Each structure stands twice: as C-alpha cells, then as structure tokens.
Structure 1
Amino acid sequence: MAATFKLLGTGAGPGVPSFYCNCIACQEARENPRFSRTRSGAILDLGEKKILIDASPDLRHQLLREKIDELSCIFLTHWHYDHFGGLGEVEFYVRLVRHEPLTLYLPPSAVEEYQAAFPHLQDVLVPEPWQFGRCYDFGRATLTPLPANHSIETAGILVVGKKSLAYFTDTCGLPAETLQRVQGVDILICDATFHGENWYPHSHMSVEQAIALGRATGAGKTILSHLAMHYSQAVTVRQLEQEIASYPGVSLAFDGLELEL
C-alpha cells in the first residue's frame, strides 16, 4: 500500500456554502455537494500509522465521509478555531476504542490555550510542543514543521516519502528559510484564500499570489487550498478553473483529494 496524503477539508473559516451566504459560490455548492468545502485539514496515511493534520470543526463529518476509523497522533499547524475546533471529536474514540491517549503536537505558544480550552481532554490528548525544523520520523515518511507567515505562530508541514509535499494552508508567502527548504517539492498545497483583493495580506494569499509562490518554489504541482470562494470576489469552481487553466501544473484542491506519496 502506498503512503497517501488526503485533504479532509479545503475551505477557509466560513466553509462553502456558508449558512448565511447566497453568493454564486455558495449557490453552486448547495446545488452540487461536490463543490462544498469543509474547513481545512488533512490526513497522512502510512498504513500502520495515520497522522491527522489539524482538527477542524467539521472533523467528525470528514472522518465519516472518508471512512477513517483510527488515528495515531495529531499535528496542529496553529491555534485558530477552524484548525483546532474539532479536537473534542476524538474523545470517545480514545476512551472507548484506543484506551490510550493520543499525542497532540501543537505550537509551543498554544499549550496553555489548549489546556484552558479543553480541560476535560487532559487524559485523552498529551500535548507536545512541536519544534520548527525538527524532522518527525514515522517510518514510511517524515514530517517537518516549518515557519509560515501568519498572524500567530504557525507551521506549514513538509512531508517526505517517495515524493515530497509541502502543506501550507495559512500563510502569506513564505519566510526565506522556509522557501529554501521547500525548493523543488513535488507537490505544494498552499493558501489561496482570496479571489481578487486580499483583505489580509499579512496572513493569507490570493489565488494569484499562490500561483506565484508555486513558481517561486519550483514545485512540480501547485494545488490551491484554503479557498474561501467568496472573499473578496465570489467565484464558482467552473470560473476559477477557467482562470487558472493557462498555468501549467496548477489545480484546485477539493475535499477528499488523495495524493500518493
């Protein structure tokens, strides 16, 4: 069995569709659930080990949809609700099935916030602050947190198996040292939150900026993720695919997209 990296969610904070929104993107997703986007997260499946990267508020639905019934540990890229809000969903898996706590790798700056927010999970998750640049070896692949440019301490993840993959869902460009580390990756999955004007240029990227980052890294493939679809100019999947069609190796992420490593 090949190692795989599966995108559980590919949307920004509001998800697509948003309950309060009737823009063309949300209308499209209501009419065709294939174009729905849950909040961002992924799973690195190494067969004997399954590493969850971020725990979105949609985690239960994501795990059911993808028929995932076990986890080995959890990596959080940063402490924003759309990336940690689903942590409570693993409680009964641990208590009733696993019978031993999961290691929760999280930003050093988020440990106290985690303990304050989830006091009832102290025997379910064991927090371990990750270290930028440390290579975590899981046998068939390694996982390395690298600095991202976001509003709080945030990591992107470099995964190296038979292929290399860089996963940066929340970043505005990359710090110089990170850009150097991910040069020539086979696959770059990156923040493309905004279509049109970027309201948060110090935290996120637009579609155009994401494509430019793919070029700067020399990535074999660039996959646009963390898509709001309605920031700041609403766009349908069909329209966006037409816009990026002229860029070789660039494609849109979709929930459930599986990449072989």
Structure 2
Amino acid sequence: MRVTLLGTGDTTGTPTPGCSCDTCEAAVDRDIERTRFSVHIENERTGESFLIDMSPDARYQLLRDSVLLPDEVIITHIHFDHLDGLGNAYRLLDSLPVHAAAAVDPQTGESVAETIAQKYDYLDQLDVHPQQPFEPFEICGVTATLVPVEHPPLACYGLAIEDETGAKLSITGDTNFAVPDASRDVLSDADLLLADAIVPARLCKHHPLGGTHENEAGVPRTFGTKHMTTEGALSLAAELNAAQTRLVHVSHFPTPEEAFGEHTAVDGEQYIL
C-alpha cells in the first residue's frame, strides 16, 4: 500500500496564518508546510484509496499531492481539524462511506459515528458505518482496527492498517502517552508508525498544566493532557517496536531545528509498505 501524508500539522498548521515566528518563516523559505492532519492510503492492488481523517484542508491536499479521490474515510475523533473536510464530499463524490467508532463517549453521550451522522445529516453522500473498537473491519481491500487512546476530554482512536502482504501502518491518533496496553498490542510491530508529537518536552513549562507522564529522567512525555511530546512519541515508538516512525500533528512552537528535525514529518511524504 502507498501511504501519503497529506497533513502533518496541528490545529493551526505551519506556517500559521499571521505568524512570523522563526519556524513559520523557515517553512516559507524552505517551501514546506504542515496542513491539518490527514493520511491517504492507496491499495495499489485494487486501485482503491481511503483517508484517515479528512481535514479542513482536504481540497487543497488532494490537489497538491495529486492522489486519488477517496473511496472511503475513517474518522478518529470529532475535533474539527480531523473531520471538517467531510463537507468536501458535496458535489465532489457520489458517495463516501465513513467509518468511525461505535462506542459511546461519556462526555458527549453519543459515539463518534453518531456525532458524524448528526453533524453531516445534510450530506446525502455520506454513509456512516459504526465500528466497534478492537474489531477489525475491511476497507478498500485492507484490514483496519480502531483502538482507544487518551485525548481528554473526548474519545479518540488510533488505528492499525494491515494489507494482505502483512505490511502494517499504525497511527496513534491524537493522544497523550497513556495509551492503554490493549491498544498498544494492536499498534505494535508496525512497518511505519505515525505518532502524535506536538512539541518538545522543554516547552511543557509554557502549558498551564505543565507536562505529565514523566520518564525516569523526569522528562515529560505528555504536553498538558492531550498530546505527546517529541520525547514521549519516540519513547512510545520504541515500546511499540516500530520499524520506522514519523512524528505528526507537530505545531509551529518548536524551533526550526526541532520542527524540521530527523523524525518530524512534513506534508507530501510518501511511503510504500
């Protein structure tokens, strides 16, 4: 399968509109960017493709990277930067099956699937398919499994994608370091891991809640409560025994050296698994 990283940024993306920080200026100078999160997966054996999350930048991403229009979509959670691109289905796609978790979120009183069905009830193109966490389902000829992660206060899911050759892509989803053990088991041993890493641990001092899930050396592996630090994401990748790791959902707050370092992904990267 061919994996294209359409969007590797956080809520505001990099460069961030109206921002002249060193990292945003470096992104402009280097002609690179991080739009809001989305991953395109093409099953080259069947000619089908699907998206993991459909960001508000979906139209631009699909044009920029010249990928196939999606046949289906998986949505990990209901934050706008991960699902508001679904509106692009109008007059662009004849139909779009949308897969999302069926488990009820105590915070909202409904599942991710139910929220999507209600939010986009005006779009006849969308056909929402609730999926039970930990239960594999087929999408475009490959197997996907949603697993709960920790992104308080809302329910959020990571997932593993495996094709018939045994190639495996794992995505942590938006999460802090406290990914449940059962979810880690499903995400482990991936050929490619996309791990949420919003900032380096040193920036936890700027968060009102600081950092949590410190390692033995006292380095925070979670920034506040919702996202992993760079150090946390790399630590999780090591525990999951990922063959290759790319850090995503990266913000513009790190320095250019940190933001565009060895492990941090930028939009447009492609991988053949």
Contact 1:107 1:129 in 2 (8 A): yes
Pairing of 1:95-114 with structure 2 (within 5 A): 98=94, 101-108=95-102, 109-114=111-116
Counterpart amino acid of residue 213 in structure 1: L
Matching residue of 1:118: 120
Mapping 1:62-73, distance limit 5 Å: 62-73=61-72
What's the CA shift for 1:117?
A: 2.9
SS at match of 2:67: coil
CA distance in 1, matches of 2:97, 2:90: 13
- In structure 1, the residue matched to 2:161 is 159
Using the size of structure 1 for normalisation, the TM-score is 0.86
Quote the residue 1:57 is aligned against. Answer: 56
Structure 1 unaligned regions, length at least 5: 245-250
> What do residues 87-115 of structure 1 show as CA deviations (whole Å, max 9, x unaligned)?
11121122xxx3xx211112331344334
Question: Closer, same or farther in 2 for the Cα pair 1:103/1:205, shift >3 Å?
Answer: same
User: For the Cα contact (< 8 Å) 1:169–1:226, is it kept in 2?
Assistant: no
Distance 1:69 1:188 in 2: 22
CA shift for structure 1 position 142: 1.3
Does residue 253 of structure 2 align to residue 252 of structure 1? no
Counterpart position of 1:141: 142
The aligned residue for residue 255 of structure 2 is 235
CA distance in 2, matches of 1:114, 1:82: 14
Q: Is the 8 A contact 2:192 2:245 kept in 1?
A: yes
In 1, Cα distance between equivalents of 2:240 and 2:11: 26
What is the CA distance between 1:15 and its match in structure 2?
A: 0.3
Q: 1:239 to 1:150 in 2, by over 3 A?
A: closer
Partners of 2:66 and 2:244 lie apart in 1 by 27
Q: Of Structure 1 and Structure 2, which has the larger fraction of its residues in helix?
A: 1
Task: Look up the equivalent residue of 1:211 and give its one-letter code.
Answer: L
CA distance in 2, matches of 1:252, 1:225: 7
**2:214 aligned partner:** none
Q: 1:224 aligns with which of 243, 247, 253?
A: 247
Instruction: Give distance in 1, aligned partners of 2:140 and 2:259.
Output: 38
What do the CA deviations read for 1:25-70 (whole angstroms, capped 9, x no partner)? 1111122222x11001001100321111111010000000111342
More strand by percentage: 2
What CA distance in whole angstroms lies between the structure 1 residues aligned with 2:140 and 2:149?
A: 25
Structure 2 length as normaliser, TM-score? Answer: 0.82
Provide the identity percentage: 28
SS in 2 for 1:89: helix
